[in-house]
Structure 1
Amino acid sequence: MKTHQTAPTQYVEANGIRFAYRRFGKPGTIPLVLHMHFTGTLDHWDPAITDGFAQDREVILFDNAGIGGSSGEVPTTIEGMAADSAAFIRALGLGQVDALGFSLGGLVAQTLAIAEPVLVRKLVLVGTGPRSGEGMATLTPEAQRIFGASYEPADHLWLKVFFTDSPASQAAGHAFLERFRQRQADRDPEANDKVAPAQLEALGKWGAPRENPYDYLRELKQPTLVVNGDNDVIIYTVNSLILQKHIPNAQLILYPDANHGSQYQYPQRFVRNTSTFLDLDPG
């Protein structure tokens, strides 16, 4: 069976975009389509998570428009990103999927699930938040400091983005980086210099203040699992509480001593908790 390390990069055309993706795991199941964070590519997922899910279900990783190996331009709205995601899923001939979204990907996954209630069966929202969420109009002060600093090697950035400063969390972070670096062949191109500005514009529109900002969450009818760390400084943890409160059928898991990448700190626990949720009869 193909794994995170061995699944080949494939391509499919939709909406004039050539989408890069990898598909592996157990065929004949409802696929789990993963939506990536700010500036992330196919190779930014943790193999402990993707391979963990692939034991029991099919996993699909993809670069949305303008990211990594995909062609096109990055949309400057979350709605545009969600429309491209729907086009990609349909281009694979899929009639129903489960959607997981991490950080920026969680905004896209929410929007996709509302726009495509038949296509998306269940929703997993990790380290993310609602429209006009707390501290979401711009990058948080902590995020601005973290992304504005220099790191050597460069991927040590993720130790600050995803993990707390505690020794235990940092140790989990170094273990994550070892897994993160494992795939050497057929790696995805890193995001080019047009990606971050477009995504920041989309994030700004999403986070801008508005009246009754959380009313739209009532439209999310899918069973939803919200996951975060108890000390997320990139998208503040309170936003996960807001999601759980306003989505009609949502449950919340907060992992201890964890920042924005709580799922990477507790990969086995995250796979177990999420798999249990996905396997439950939606009724």
Structure 2
Amino acid sequence: MRTTVHGIDIEYEVFGTGRPLLLIMGLGMQMVAWDEEFIGLLVAEGHQVVRFDNRDMGLSTHVDEPADLLAALGGDAAAVPYTLEDMAADTAGLMDTLGWASAHVVGASMGGMVAQTLALAAPARVRSLTSIMSTPSLAVSPATEAAMGALMSPPARNRDEAVQRAFEVFRVIGSPGYPIEPDRVAAVAGTSYDRCYDPAGATRQLIAIMSAPDRTERLRELSVPALVIHGDDDPLITPPGGVATADAIPGAKLLTFPGMGHDLPRLLWPEFVAAITELTSRAG
């Protein structure tokens, strides 16, 4: 399904019925990275789950502007095609289409940043906030050199290279305490390539992340029920990012997992779903 929000087409899918729960994916990842088995676990716990392609990913609108990361980092405001606030507004617009005055919002990595931004911009629209492997500021959770090297590795030139690149990236940033799932990595990478492969879109998203202000002080003003999930072995958004998020949001619960890196290990899904469900049930 598709809706148009402020001139941006947003592709989305709806699963189940129940408490409204919106999933926001991370940098350079399409909505298919939210595994349908994981979504099924959430549906079984009484949620209506929506996943969607952020702008510049998948079947949503790809912004026709240069992706000049160096210029943006140099302070050139004109080199910032859009902001996390714009992406949060996309999310709110999708909620309007769904008829949701408010929803439980779950964001992973960049998606956690967008979710935080949405809660700050429109707190009445966020029933609960779950921030997974995210941070209020890159300054408090710098990536390791190896993780940044993997993230910034050259883009693929064809489908086979896209699948191979995904393996190489997740060998570096994935969870050392949990087995990599080759079939799942290949399926997500291949499906994503087939839907739409646009490395420049990921760079524009990265510009939005890196140009965003520190949200820490503003998060201290939130009164939304919140859950923070982070891996103790995350090399991309290192563990202090999760700690800083939980410390900033009053009453937030922090769950950390040894051996978890910057991905969502299947063996931890039941624990993630149980924690999210406890939060959404309590938040109403």
The TM-score with structure 1 as length reference comes to: 0.82
Match 2:259 to one of 240, 257, 263: 257
Indicate if the aligned counterparts of 1:23 and 1:61 stay in contact, CA closer than 8 A: yes
Corresponding residue of 2:25: 36
Letter in 2 for 1:62: F
The correspondence of residues 1-283 of structure 1 with structure 2, limited to 5 A, is 10-25=1-16, 27=17, 29-55=18-44, 56-73=46-63, 75-136=81-142, 140-148=144-152, 153-156=164-167, 157-164=169-176, 166=177, 169=178, 171=179, 173-174=180-181, 177-178=183-184, 181=187, 189-206=195-212, 214-281=216-283
Deviation at 1:149, TM superposition (A): 5.0
CA distance in 1, matches of 2:264, 2:47: 22
Structure 2 Cα separation of the partners of residues 85 and 115 of structure 1:
11
Deviations 1:206-242 (A, max 9, x none): 2x6x7xx621111222100000111111001111111
Q: Is the 8 A contact 1:228 1:261 kept in 2?
A: no
Q: Decide which moves more: 144-153 or 195-204.
A: 144-153
CA distance in 2, matches of 1:31, 1:93: 10
Deviation at 1:188, TM superposition (A): 6.8
Between the aligned residues of both structures, percent identity stands at 27
1:146 shift after superposition: 2.0
Please say if residues 40 and 191 of structure 1, whose CA atoms lie closer than 8 Å, have aligned partners that are also in contact.
Answer: no
Q: Match for 2:36: what amino acid?
A: P
Alignment CA distance shift 1:134-1:191 (3 Å): farther
Tell me how far apart the structure 1 counterparts of residues 200 and 246 of structure 2 sit (CA, whole Å): 33
Provide Cα deviations, 1:108-164, integer angstroms capped at 9, x if missing partner.
00010111111110000000001354244xx54232222345876333133432222
Aligned length: 259
Q: CA deviation at 1:18?
A: 1.9
Structure 1's 183 and 199: CA in aligned 2 closer, same or farther, altered over 3 A? closer
After superposition, what is the alpha-carbon deviation per residue over 1:45-68, rounded to whole angstroms, capped at 9, x for unaligned? 123321110112110001122221
Contact kept in structure 2, 1:96 and 1:120, CA below 8 Å: yes
Unaligned runs of 5+ in 2: 65-80, 155-160
Alpha carbons of 1:48 and 1:199: their partners in 2 closer, same or farther (altered >3 Å)?
same
TM-score between both structures, scaled by the size of structure 2: 0.81
CA distance in 2, matches of 1:188, 1:97: 31
Superposition deviation, residue 43 in structure 1: 1.1
How far the C-alpha of 1:42 sits from its partner, in A, is: 1.5
* Kept in 1: contact 2:146–2:172 (CA 8 A): no
**Aligned-partner residue type, residue 123 of structure 2:** P
The 3-state SS of whatever aligns with 1:153 is helix
Write the distance in 2 (CA, Å) between the matches of 1:114 and 1:68: 26
Distance 2:263 2:236 in 1: 10
Q: Which amino acid aligns with 2:86?
A: G
Deviation at 1:190, TM superposition (A): 3.6
Q: CA RMSD in A?
A: 2.7
Query: For 1:215 and 1:32, how far apart are their aligned partners in 2?
Result: 26
Q: How much has 1:31 moved relative to structure 2?
A: 1.2
Gaps of 5+ in 1: 1-9
